[in-house]
């Protein structure tokens, strides 16, 4: 299933390309949440963290669907990933925060396609597909929607945490492996690839492949990543032609 959001009042919600805040504008008063009305301790802690997270508040203020949007904004500030007119694929795009950022940054001449197993509400200026990106038909479908190969493939996907660090690392690396297998089929020469991994970064065969296939490979933890989170991102620049 594919849908394309209308132009609306602006791309991705109308925040205006690069002219917007990439860091929270400030913090309010700290909110404490009690374990009332059958709320568990863990759910109370999660709610309290959300209510006191400046990126959550800033995302609502700027119209982004998730705080994760700021991670991509900050990665783009550092690496200039989202160039005007670029063709971008967002893997595991739901709920759409990264897609919104991509649409804003590439501008009217760019193309952005988001794909996820989950449905995504329409985003002005983006093509959204509900399907498994590992489906054999996915690469050709996305290239048709982009009208050619991609300049950038993004993956902010993460498997559900098990609480066992080694298992979690293996699961998220498996997702990053799958994302890169897809990216190889759709990226143009000199393109770029960004994927979420965990502390320790891209390892083993994936790291070998990235260093072989790209001019530059970096690991980075953007400021919007929570300090208690093990997530980091691998950024691979310049597909070798």
**H/E stretch holding 190:** strand 187-198
Confidence (pLDDT) at 125? 97
Catalytic pick from 38, 60, 196, 218? 196
Question: Within a domain: residue 115?
Answer: yes
Q: Residue 114 sits in which domain range?
A: 65-239
pLDDT value at 98 more than 80: yes
Question: Within a domain: residue 11?
Answer: no
Contact at 8 Å (CB) between 127 and 145? Answer: yes
Tally of domains in the chain:
1
Give the rounded percent of residues in the chain with a pLDDT score beyond 70: 76
Confidence (pLDDT) at 166? 76
pLDDT value at 33 more than 70: no
pLDDT value at 11 more than 70: no
Question: Within a domain: residue 151?
Answer: yes
Give the domain CATH number at 118. 3.40.50.150
Taking only the tens place, the pLDDT of each residue in 180-209 is 999 999 999 999 999 998 876 666 788 899
Confidence (pLDDT) at 164? 73
pLDDT value at 17 more than 70: no
Note if 196 is an active site residue: yes
Question: Within a domain: residue 39?
Answer: no
Question: Within a domain: residue 234?
Answer: yes
Question: Within a domain: residue 170?
Answer: yes
d(CA 156, CA 176) in angstroms, rounded, equals 9
Question: Within a domain: residue 221?
Answer: yes
The 3-state secondary structure of the chain, one letter per residue: CEEEECCCCCHHHCCCCCCCCCCCCCCCCCCCCCCCCCCCHHHHHHHHHHHHCHHHHHHHHHCCCCCCHHHHHHHHHHHCCCCCCCEEEEECCCCCHHHHHHHHHHCCCCEEEEEECCCCCCCECEEEEECCCCCCCHHHHHHHHHCCCEEEEEECCCCCCCCCHHHHHHHHHHHHHHHHHHHHHHEEEEEEEEEEEECCCCCHHHHHHHHHHEEEEEEECCCCCCCCCCEEEEEEEEECC
- Please provide residue 178's backbone torsions phi and psi, each rounded to the nearest 5 degrees: -65, -40
Contact at 8 Å (CB) between 99 and 106? Answer: no
Question: Within a domain: residue 177?
Answer: yes
Taking only the tens place, the pLDDT of each residue in 100-128 is 999 999 999 999 999 999 999 999 999 99
Confidence (pLDDT) at 167? 78
Taking only the tens place, the pLDDT of each residue in 48-96 is 455 567 888 898 999 999 999 999 999 999 999 999 999 999 999 999 9
Confidence (pLDDT) at 226? 84
Q: Which residue has the tokens 């197993």?
A: 117
């Amino acid at each position: 299933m594919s849908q394309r959001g209308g132009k609306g009042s602006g791309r991705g919600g109308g925040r205006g390309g690069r002219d917007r805040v990439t860091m929270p504008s400030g913090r309010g008063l700290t909110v404490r949440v009690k374990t009332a009305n059958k709320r568990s301790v863990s759910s109370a802690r999660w709610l309290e963290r959300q209510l006191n997270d400046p990126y959550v508040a800033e995302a609502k203020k700027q119209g982004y669907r998730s705080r994760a949007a700021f991670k991509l904004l900050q990665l783009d500030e550092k690496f200039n990933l989202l160039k005007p007119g670029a063709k971008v694929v967002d893997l595991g795009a739901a709920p759409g925060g990264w897609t919104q950022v991509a649409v804003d940054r590439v501008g009217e001449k760019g193309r952005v396609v988001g794909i996820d197993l989950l449905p995504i509400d329409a985003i002005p200026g983006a093509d959204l597909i509900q399907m498994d990106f590992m489906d054999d038909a996915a690469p050709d479908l996305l290239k048709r929607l982009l009208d050619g190969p991609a300049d950038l493939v993004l993956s902010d996907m993460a498997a559900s945490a098990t609480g066992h660090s080694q298992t979690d690392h293996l699961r998220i690396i498996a997702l990053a492996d799958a994302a890169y297998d897809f990216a190889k089929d759709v990226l143009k020469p000199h393109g770029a690839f960004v994927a979420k991994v965990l502390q320790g970064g891209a390892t083993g065969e994936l790291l070998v492949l990235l260093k072989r296939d790209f001019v530059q490979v970096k690991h980075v933890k953007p400021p919007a990543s929570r300090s208690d989170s093990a997530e980091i991102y691998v950024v691979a620049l310049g597909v070798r032609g």
